[in-house]
Amino acid sequence: MPQGDPQQPVYTVGGRRLSIADLLRRFSEGQFQSNGICRLSDLHLKTGEPATYRFDSDLVPLPGAEPLDAATVRALLYPLLTAAQITRFEATPPTDVDAGYELVGAGLSFRINAFHDRQGPACAIRVLPREIPAVDRIGFPEERIWRDIVDLKQGLVVVTGITGSGKSTTVAALLRHIGRHRAVRVITLEDPVEYALDSDTALVSQREVGLHVRSFAGGLRAALREDPDVIFVGEMRDPETTSLALTAAETGHLVFSTLHTKDAKGAITRIVDMFPQERVRELATQLSFSLTYVLAQKLIPLAGGSGRRVAMEVLRNVPAIANLIRTARWHQVYGAMESHRRDGAITLERHLAELVRRGEVEADDARRYANAPSLIP
């Protein structure tokens, strides 16, 4: 159970005393909403600095907030953590802690990472959308892409992007659509569980690392004995988890997972580079057969400053691209994606250019977020 009262006022802001619940409730205020989406994404608490929110892409200190001292950071943070999590956080040496929290009565859920830096304790608290958006509202370049993915029977789908790019939301939307329309067994392994997936047509089991399983690898090994059709591995963090995910995809399961890379090519090389050099050829071959899609996404400011939307790079593993993966010719992947536009592949730059043409995104912002800015007209 969380330790302490989240309603206890402990932080001075503009002459008022606020609680962590007060700070979290700001995520539901109407002034920060756009088309049903909250433009505040994160709350940062850091010793020596005022409480700071991420508004669209910018960090904005809370007006009138005093710099936090270490005791106040702990007083705000600890009501969100369990006793066991606090013990790990205060161990010597201290341990980073991942946690989830639901603000009772506000309908808000959060993902928390608590850590220490040079000044003292700190944390990043991310709000999770109250509802999983319909997959057709995610922002795929074309409808046929997501429709093909949700109909897959096997293979590996990797969603990649920097922290805060909406990867978890994209995966949740795809899984929810599968859960509502296919009679399959879905098992997720998450750290922590971010979105609640109901068993509709599908039978869904969600398992949290550290609570229900000890590790992604251990949970995935167990999941393979639990008659799954669809598996979501929250992140491919290590060679063992990645190897098991590839094997699961190769042996008849549909596997979703995430990575942190800026583009689709980077996701491929990141997977292969997890392994010793002597295994590169073996892993490249296995990946060429297992991989079906890589979705690399970024959140781009909308024209007029009314929010953000997804710009997405899509790699579909057609035979020509599979051959490039198998032979480790990574430098040719981007060109092959351009050549196979009709097959559902699209580069980030092409999608950004289309968003500029439709007036959804400013050209300057498109260039700023592009991997190759010179390709944006």
Q: Provide the pLDDT for residue 105.
A: 78
Question: Residue 5 in contact with residue 75, Cβ under 8 Å?
Answer: no
pLDDT at 28 over 70: yes
Q: Provide the pLDDT for residue 194.
A: 82
Percent of residues, the chain, with pLDDT higher than 90: 80
**222, two tokens:** 């167990």
Closest CA to 263 of 340, 367, 372, 376: 372
Give the pLDDT confidence of 33-77 residue by residue, as tens digits: 665 566 888 999 999 999 999 988 789 999 999 999 999 999 999
Q: Which residue has the higher pLDDT, 143 or 104?
A: 143
pLDDT at 205 over 60: yes
Give the pLDDT confidence of 286-321 residue by residue, as tens digits: 999 999 999 999 999 899 877 889 999 999 999 999
Q: Domain spans of the chain?
A: 11-128, 135-375
Q: Helix 319-326 to helix 280-290 angle, to the nearest 10 degrees?
A: 170
Give the pLDDT confidence of 145-171 residue by residue, as tens digits: 999 999 999 999 999 999 888 899 999
Give the pLDDT confidence of 334-361 residue by residue, as tens digits: 999 999 999 999 999 999 999 999 999 9
Cα 269 to Cα 275: distance, rounded to the nearest angstrom = 10
Mean pLDDT, the chain, whole residue set: 92
Cα 83 to Cα 74: distance, rounded to the nearest angstrom = 13
pLDDT at 104 over 90: no
Give the pLDDT confidence of 252-274 residue by residue, as tens digits: 999 999 999 999 999 999 999 99
Task: Tell me yes or no: is domain 135-375 CATH 3.40.50.300.
Answer: yes
CATH dotted code for 11-128: 3.30.450.90
